[in-house]
Amino acid sequence: MSQQASAAESIDQVETVESVYKEDFNGKDNGDGKMTVLLLGVDQREAEIPRTDTIMIAEYDPASKEAKLASLMRDLYVEIPGHGYNKLNAAFALGGPELLRETIAVNLGIEIEYYSIVDFQGFTQIVDTLSPDGMQVDVEKNMQYRSGDGTTDIQLQEGIQTLDGEELLGYVRYRSDARGDFARVERQQKVIQLLKDELLSFQGVLKAPRLIGNIQPYIDTNLGGSKMIQVGKDLLLNPVESMDMISIPTTDNVWDERKPYPIGLVLNHDEESTKQTLQNFFEQE
């Protein structure tokens, strides 16, 4: 039996955790055999209602073994159904993943079937399980930032560094420079590619069942137990061969704009152009 098959078989033994948002989420199946997931990164330490620092749409096509990933910047100015215009990440605070799903459907024309909310502690578990000795990353500049409450402390030096889970989390969250979220999203996509390569390596495949078990306490998803097992086994037996990525809004269709308090500075854009760009990327019309 191959290592992939052995690991896939072990996934059957992993218990799954039910979602607290599942009953409210009205995901839509596009009927094309592809799986579309709303991926949200949150920090449970910061507030009773956590912020969505990371908002992504992931699509996986098991037939072609291809994946697509769109990063949506949290300050994107959109219309939130029933609440008027605001930053995209405000939709989660106002109505959880379902309102965020509706907001994406209304503004961007993309239907999403599943969601997965990952607490940042889960991210560190992923990194430390896959690479106990750390992951090698080319840090493009010195990064120093400490939040007022002390929950976030980023101290990284420029150059090739070996980062553990907590340090790599700081790397992907850092936004205290002139390019703000644009640079942060680039780092997130860079690290996702590194994690994908690590997971699909020989050693990564062997760690897959333990990885799923370790991160479950930090995940809230409407992917049911059988579906999660099916997807996990499929990804191990039929690894993703290519992953296309995009950031929304694109740099040629965005400008900073200040809105009245409490909204503040937003990323405004030509709404129809943004919608068409994302639909073309996912081939949803």
pLDDT digits (tens, 9 = 90+) for 126-174: 999 999 999 999 999 999 999 887 778 999 999 999 999 999 999 999 9
Q: Which two tokens stand for residue 283?
A: 């081939």
Quote the pLDDT of residue 210: 81
The whole-number average pLDDT for the span 26-50 is: 83
Provide, rounded to the nearest whole percent, the portion of the chain with pLDDT above 90: 61
Q: How far is CA 56 from CA 14, 36, 201, in A?
A: 26, 10, 24
> Would you call 122 exposed, middle or buried from its count of C-beta atoms within 10 A (0-12, 13-18, 19+)?
buried
Percent of the chain with pLDDT over 70: 85
Class of the domain covering 35-283? alpha beta
pLDDT at 47 over 60: no
pLDDT of residue 92: 94
pLDDT bin (cut points 50, 70, 90) of residue 1 is very low
Candidate from 2-6, 59-63, 97-101, 194-198 with smallest mean pLDDT: 2-6
To the nearest whole number, what is the mean pLDDT of the chain? 87
- Does residue 153 or residue 225 have the better pLDDT? 153
Give 6-12's long-range contacts (Cβ < 8 A, gap of 24+): 7/205, 7/206, 7/208, 7/209, 7/236, 8/208, 8/232, 8/233, 8/236, 8/237, 9/233, 10/208, 10/209, 11/208, 11/209, 11/212, 11/229, 11/232, 11/233, 11/236, 12/229, 12/233
pLDDT band at 267 (very low <50, low <70, confident <90, very high): very high
**Is 29 within 8 Å of 59 (Cβ atoms)?**
no
* pLDDT 10s digits, 165-214: 999 999 999 988 888 889 999 999 999 999 988 887 867 777 777 887 78
What is the CB-side half-sphere exposure of residue 122 using CA atoms within 13 A? 19
For 92, counting Cβ atoms within 10 Å of its Cβ (0-12 exposed, 13-18 middle, 19+ buried), the class is buried
Choice between 11 and 78, residue whose per-residue pLDDT is larger = 78
DSSP 76: B
CB-based burial, 237-246: b 16+ in 10 Å, e otherwise: eeebeeeebb
CA gap 34, 255 in Å, rounded: 33
Q: Which residues face 222 on adjacent strands?
A: none
Residues whose CB falls within 8 Å of the CB of residue 132, separated by 6 or more in sequence, listed in order: none
pLDDT at 217: 85
> What CA–CA distances, in Å, run from 8 to 47, 58, 86, 236?
37, 22, 43, 6
pLDDT (0 to 100) of residue 183: 93
Domain ranges of the chain: 35-283
Mean pLDDT along residues 106-133: 94
Single-letter residue type at 8: A
Q: Report the relative pairing of strands 114-119 and 35-42 from DSSP bridges.
A: parallel
Prior bond to 262 cis, omega within 30?
A: yes
> pLDDT tens digit string along 89-109?
999 999 999 999 999 999 999
Is the previous residue joined to 97 through a cis bond, with omega within 30 degrees of 0? no
Check pLDDT > 90 for residue 233: no
- pLDDT of 237 > 90? The answer is no
Instruction: Give residue 52's pLDDT band: very low, low, confident or very high (50, 70, 90).
Output: confident
Residue 56: is its pLDDT beyond 70?
yes
Where residue 11 falls among pLDDT bands split at 50, 70, 90?
Answer: very low
Return the ∠ at Cα 248 (arms to 158 and 194), rounded to 5°.
40
DSSP label at residue 30: -
Label residue 229 by pLDDT band (50, 70, 90).
Answer: low
